[in-house]
Amino acid sequence: MEVNNVELVMSAVSPTQYPTTGYPEIAFVGRSNVGKSSMTNVLINRKSYARTSSQPGKTQTLNFYQVEDQLYFVDVPGYGYAKVSKQEREKWGEMIETYLTQRETLRGVVSLVDARHEPTQDDVQMYQWLSYYDIPILILATKADKIVRGKWNKQESIIKKKLGFNKKDSFVMFSAQTKMGKDEIWKWIEDHAFG
């Protein structure tokens, strides 16, 4: 998709604040700092539209980015950030769970993991949880530029094994730096948003 217009239309914490236009939505989930905002910027051809930061845990709301007059990208605040209080984490969990289980216009979730490492317990839990609710999932192994090309296949196997990857889901190796994988992500998004 050729993207010219993107707008952050809402930062929501509860369903009453979700957009009401009815466009399909694709959500981005993953640990703090894994690279959700960076990926968003690559997809929409901007350098710094979605705010990237070296401070993990900054995003605390569901951020709805309207892409053209066609769909929303929903940036979900990163999980697994140690410094937030237990109470904040519970609030976070409730907000995410409500969105992911009750949003009728949600068409799929891009779940980001770090290509360099075995997925964390949080990553596995998120994957299993999304699978349980039958939400279409694209596992995106990002920061692939940080490992040599010769190791991509091996890392893919390690990641899939740890997650208990289901063949009905999709997997893409990605780098926000080199933009590898960008076209595959877009194809998956279009297939699920409009398919």
6 in Cβ contact with 65 (< 8 Å): yes
Q: Toward ligand GTP, which CB reaches closer, 61 or 105?
A: 61
Name the minimum Å distance from CB 4 to ligand GTP. Answer: 22
Interacting residue with ligand GTP among 6, 18, 37, 74 (CB under 6 A): 37
Nearer to ligand GTP, 134 or 138 (CB): 138
Binding site partner of 33, from Mg ion, ligand GTP, none, Cβ cut-off 5-8 A by kind: ligand GTP
Beta strands in 57-185, from DSSP E residues, in sequence order: 62-67, 71-75, 106-114, 137-142, 170-173
Q: Which residues within the stretch 19-48 sit at the binding site for Mg ion (CB under 5 A)? A: 36-37
d(CA 170, CA 159) in angstroms, rounded, equals 12
110: helix, strand or coil: strand
**Residue of 145, 184, 190, 191 that binds ligand GTP (CB under 6 A):** 145
Residues listed for the chain: 195
Which residue number, 59 or 111, has a Cβ lying nearer to Mg ion?
59
Give the DSSP letter string of 17-28. Answer: GS--S---EEEE
Q: Which residues bind Mg ion (CB under 5 A)?
A: 36-37, 59
